[in-house]
Structures are given as C-alpha cells and as structure tokens.
Amino acid sequence: MSDSFDRAPGAGRGRSRGLGRGGGGPEGGGFPNGAGPAERSQHQQQPPPPQPKAPGFLQPPPLRQPRTAPPPGAQSEAPAGSARPPRPGALPEQTRPQKAPPSSQDKTPQQNSKSAMAKPQVVVAPVLMSKLSANAPEFYPSGYSSNYTESYEDGCEDYPTLSEYVQDFLNHLTEQPGSFETEIEQFAETLNGWVTTDDALQELVELIYQQATSIPNFSYMGARLCNYLSHHLTISPQSGNFRQLLLQRCRTEYEAKDQAAKGDEVTRKRFHAFVLFLGELYLNLEIKGTNGQVTRADILQVGLRELLNALFSNPMDDNLICAVKLLKLTGSVLEDTWKEKGKTDMEEIIQRIENVVLDANCSRDVKQMLLKLVELRSSNWGRVHATSTYREATPENDPNYFMNEPTFYTSDGVPFTAADPDYQEKYQELLEREDFFPDYEENGTDLSGAGDPYLDDIDDEMDPEIEEAYEKFCLESERKRKQ
C-alpha cells in the first residue's frame, strides 16, 4: 500500500499506456535491464517533466516529418543507430519504447529531435526485367526478302532451281511493283542464260500464269511482264516462243469457260481471275508487224467477246460483277476496234445488259452497277475529246461560252451579260457612270488632274469630343515616353 501511494502523479498512467519515454517493459517496471528497487525509488523521487494535458484520450501521434535532406552535420551529431528512419505505419519515435540507460534520459529528447530530421529512406520500386534484347534479330514481315538486292545482283547463283528464282522475283514484284523498270532487264538477262530448253520455258510460262491468276493485284504487272519477256527472251524452240506458249496456256482455260461460268464458287472465282488477266493481257501485249507497226492480239479480242457471252449467259451476281469489271477495263478499246471494223458488238452487249437488268434475278446492287456501266458507256467511257481549244471557242460553237461571265445592271436595274447584243454599249455606259477606273499610275499618282470626288467630300475637321480624346491620348503617350 505504501509503495502505491509513494508513486509520482501520473507514473502509473504513463506506464499502463507504454508511452513513457524511458520505459514500457512489463518485467522491468518500465525501466531497461530490470532496474532494482533502489533505482526505482530514486527515479520516483524525481519530478516528472511537464506534459500537455489531454482530455482523457490518447494523444495523437505527430505528423510525419517532411522528406527533406538533414542539415549539415546532423548525422555526425546523432549517435550511431539513432538516425534510422521510421517504418511506414510504425509509431513515432516519441511514442516508441526505447531501452536506454537511466543516465541518458536527459539527452533523449535532443537525440529524437535530431533523428526526426534525418533523411528518410527512399523506397525503390522493384525493376521489372524486360525480355527485349538489343542483340535480338531484326524483324521482317512475312514474305519479305532482306537479301533480295544482293541475290539478284549476283544473278541466280544462290537459287538451286529455276522455279525458286522466278517465284522469288514474282513475289518481289507483287510487294514492290515500282521496281519493275529497274530490275526487269537483269531478270530477263538471267533467264536468257538459264531458260535453254522447252521444259524450262514451259515452266516459266506456268509460273507467271499462276501468279497472275491467283493474286488479283498481280494481273496488271503479270501482263506487263509477259509483254517484256515476249520481246526480250531469245529462246525460240520448235514448240513455240514465250508469247505462243502463253496464248496456248490461256486457250486451255478459255475452252472450259462454259463449265467454269456455271461451276461452284471456287471454280467461278478462278475463272474470273483468268478473265481479268486476259483483259490486262489484251491491253498490254504488243505484237510488232513486219513493217514495225505495233498492234494488239486479235485472238484476245475475239476471246474477250466470247467470255462476256459466257458471263451474261449465267447471270449470277459474281459473274455479272466480273463482266462489269472487264468492260470498265477494256470497253473503250474494244468499242473503238469494233467501230473501225464496222462491227456493232458493243451495241449488242449493252442491249444484253439491259435485258439482264429487266429479267435476271440478281441483287439490286448488281443491277445498279450494270446501269452505271450503261451510263458510263453513254458518256464515251468517261473520255473527254476537246473539239476546240479555249482560244478557238466562240459563242457560235461553244454553248458554255458565256457561262462564267459576270452579270451587270443598268441604271434602270435591268441585268445584262456579255451574251446580250448591245453589251458593249451598256458596259461603256456603266464605266462612265461609275468611273471604276480613274487614271492612276502604278505608284498612285493621279494623272487626270482632278481630285477624287469621293475624297473631296470627306471633312477634315474632327468632332470636338474625338479631338479632345485624341489630344489626351497624345499627351499620355508623350508622358510615358519620357518616363
């Protein structure tokens, strides 16, 4: 009982919370190292330091110290181990129990104040290890040949067979059609040294034909390639030269046109590719006559006419769409050729298109496409023939001669244009009345001797209120300039 009454005021309250600056251990009575009764009594006789009164609740912990660098010499003054920054979520240093000797209690507040100003530990986020490497191989899209230039400059030495060499070149032209002019000569020279037998020439024709009919975007480039090789390949075996073998290959597909036009979807798709390639071949394949005149292959013209008949005889949507594409491609050339020979084949084709639109069970979009084709043909396939130049145009031969002329009005408000018979008189009267063009030089000097009537009517005197404001503005500007 006597021990409990001899305690200093507030000693038990501080020990029960475990927030005392020098204690908090349950076994040592709040003192480090289990202090004995003598030391406890000596400590109890010392007056406790003044503490702020809290209204019955636990005092909130102080705010977190700002993350600033410690002042110079702060780490050297603080003892080792006392400047460790607090862990996130831990109690502040003032409320954390410490095990320090009793003689160091007077120095504890100074040490805590200095350790609170120590630089906090920066938490470094874990670095994710990337799988990318600077030594990784360079990426190329599928089908791209990185060593194409070197291989073709060296010829066909890196290719074991003719098929691989030709197929690689065809794929290159498909991806880069702009390289045709720069590389076709080297390709033809290489083929002249390689294609020396009938079988090799037949294989070359088949490779080009398959590429032109299996890839839609290669039909035009394939036709250009066939035209170039037909004039630059030197081999001419008994079975026929390059152009003759190519036409024979096309004839094989042409003879099955009726079955292909009514076949399944895959068969029709392959047949449509052949039709469009034959159209490109008709436009690009040049045949030189004995006198040097360049003409087109008449056999291809006849073949295209029969192919159109096969397509219109089976008026399915895809067949009609293929016929429209073929006529847009070759319609103007075919009609000019037929007109030169006195034929009316194009009129028959247009009549057949109109019958298909009226009778066939095709979709509305396809019918609209056919009608647009008829409209295109009525406008001469979109071609514009300049019958007369601008300098030769006159009001008599050009109905649009006065289309862009401006409209003027007389003093009575009557409109007139350059198409009116008395245009010159009315226009001269308008100039005299309005005086639109006074006599001035380029620098603005008046050569007429008289002043401008519009400028003469302007009064030079300012309104008193405006004049006062202007003077005030000038004085204010002068004052600011002097300052």
Q: What is the dihedral of CA 199, 201, 206, 211, to 10 degrees?
A: 140
Specify the DSSP class assigned to residue 82: S
User: So what's the pLDDT on residue 191?
Assistant: 93
Cβ–Cβ < 8 Å for 188, 155: no
Q: Burial level of 110, CB count in 10 A (0-12/13-18/19+)?
A: exposed
* Residue 302, number of CB atoms within 10 A of its CB: 10
User: What six digits make up the tokens of 287?
Assistant: 């045949």
User: So what's the pLDDT on residue 41?
Assistant: 45
* Residue 423, number of CB atoms within 10 A of its CB: 15
User: So what's the pLDDT on residue 458?
Assistant: 54
* Phi, psi (deg, nearest 5) at residue 239: -70, -15
- Residue 406 pLDDT grade (very low, low, confident, very high; cuts 50, 70, 90): confident
Q: What is the dihedral of CA 405, 411, 415, 421, to 10 degrees?
A: -70
Q: What is the mean pLDDT of residues 150-174?
A: 76
Distance CA 85, CA 119 (A): 7
The average confidence (pLDDT) of the chain is 73
| Residue 431 vs residue 151, higher pLDDT | 431
Helix axes 298-313, 345-359, angle to 10 degrees: 20
Helix axes 345-359, 317-340, angle to 10 degrees: 160
pLDDT in tens, 307-325: 999 999 999 999 999 999 9
Of 77-81, 125-129, 362-366, least confident by mean pLDDT is 77-81
Does the pLDDT value for residue 481 go beyond 70? yes
User: So what's the pLDDT on residue 473?
Assistant: 87
Does the pLDDT value for residue 263 go beyond 60? yes
User: So what's the pLDDT on residue 268?
Assistant: 94
